[in-house]
A = this chain, B = another copy of it.
Amino acid sequence: MLDRDHCLALDAGDPLRDFRDEFVLPEGVVYLVGNSLGALPRRTAERVRQAVEDEWGGQLVGGWNLAGWYEQPLTTGDRLAPLIGAGPGQVVVGNTTSIAVYQTVAAAARLRPDRRVIVSDVRNFPTDHYMVQGLAGLLGGYEVRDFAEGRFDDAAVVLLSEVDYRTGARHDVPAVTARVQAAGALMVWDVCHSVGAMEVDVSMADFAVGCTYKYLNAGPGAPAFLYVNPRHLAAAENVLPGWHGHAEPFAFEPGFRPAEGIRRFAVGTPHVLSFAALEAALDVWERVSMRQVRAKSVALTSLFIDLVGDALELASPLDAADRGSQVSLYHPDGYPVMRALIDRGVHGDFRAPDILRFGFAPLYTRFVDVHDAAAVLAEVLEKELWREEKYARRLAVT
């Protein structure tokens, strides 16, 4: 096993090492769940306080103009765009990933009215697949086909996640996009599990969606985002036409008239306090090289795989090029194993039925953390510490 001093040396040479100081991280914890909920940036508390006390408290309803609340779905969208290979005016922020999936898949289906098949991945993060089922049920006459069938020639739209939430397996975005589009279907990418962990590029895609509470560190339930390729902006329809997507919301017209450009995909009143935390998170990202993030992510996950060795079967791809920023391992008693790890300060999570997940957020995860997590995991497995009765108890949310 690579020794701890070597890992400390890797940290000393890490070009991203100073970013760790930008985050609040509890003492004595190796936090490897940034792929589920990112850590709190130090600057966020003050930005949120400002939104509550100075903006809401000080400006009251005037904050819609004075504090820029009204424009936040677009201003944060433009700031976020470079992280997914998009340009200004192509990304709008708001709502949840579930809603954004619904909007984009429906918009894509409306752009291909002659086709009645929606391709979705049954192994995708469930909410994506559920929203497609809901949409198909409401529309009627649509077939929902599993992506694994590999047939797109009669499909209106294909929805897929760049990185699989359970295994961390990564799709070849350009290749899949090209194949789908060559078959005449539109491509919607969900980048929830890749954005902030690698150089994401959705610019070939027709639509994309993602969340901001994982690697982007915008906080629990932070707003989602939605990308529309400029070639569709004039024709794409928002099937959830709330007043913030109207050309003149404050004209209070009786009929919906879509805004020019990406704003038409806004829906209701934006959740301003949650946007404040996103703004603070984006302040950090503007100083980050995504090339360095990806390089470190590959190094961290590869090191973890090396250190874990053959102790457990790998659920993630062995080749780093095919992997996101997480490492998933199979264990038939994954739940108590993870409880035992957490009890020893190593926080990963468990995904039924048998997967241990460890996420490596490159901005605040150190090489020495990887070492320590692997050492604790080895001890828990070797000594079978997870067999203790107390670890069998299930929590409501894991």
Q: Which residues of A contact B (CB under 8 A)?
A: 24, 26, 29, 31, 33, 36-37, 39-40, 44-45, 48-49, 52-53, 55-58, 60-65, 69-70, 95-99, 102, 106, 122-123, 125-127, 129-131, 133-134, 137-139, 166, 211, 213, 219-224, 238-243, 246, 249-256, 267-277, 347, 349, 351-352, 395-398
Selected contact of A129 from candidates B33, B60, B240, B254, CB within 8 Å: B254
Report if A268-B56 is in contact (Cβ < 8 Å); known contacts: A102-B240, A106-B138, A126-B246. no
Complex Cα distance A279/B220, Å? 16
Decide: A243 and B98 in contact? CB cutoff 8 A.
Answer: yes
Q: Which chain B positions have C-beta within 8 A of A249?
A: 126
Complex Cα distance A349/B65, Å? 13
Decide: B60 and A52 in contact? CB cutoff 8 A.
Answer: no
Q: Which chain B positions have C-beta within 8 A of A250?
A: 352, 397-398
30 A-B pairs (CB sep. < 8 Å): A33-B61, A37-B56, A37-B64, A40-B52, A45-B57, A48-B273, A55-B220, A56-B219, A56-B220, A63-B220, A95-B95, A95-B99, A97-B268, A126-B246, A126-B254, A127-B243, A130-B243, A130-B246, A130-B255, A130-B256, A133-B241, A134-B256, A138-B139, A219-B272, A219-B273, A221-B271, A221-B272, A223-B271, A250-B398, A271-B273
Decide: B269 and A211 in contact? CB cutoff 8 A.
Answer: yes
Kindly provide the distance from the CB of A360 to the nearest chain B CB, expressed in whole angstroms: 15
Report if A254-B122 is in contact (Cβ < 8 Å); known contacts: A52-B45, A269-B96. yes
In chain B, what residue has the closest Cβ to A255?
B133
Decide: B271 and A396 in contact? CB cutoff 8 A.
Answer: no
Q: Which chain B positions have C-beta within 8 A of A276?
A: 273
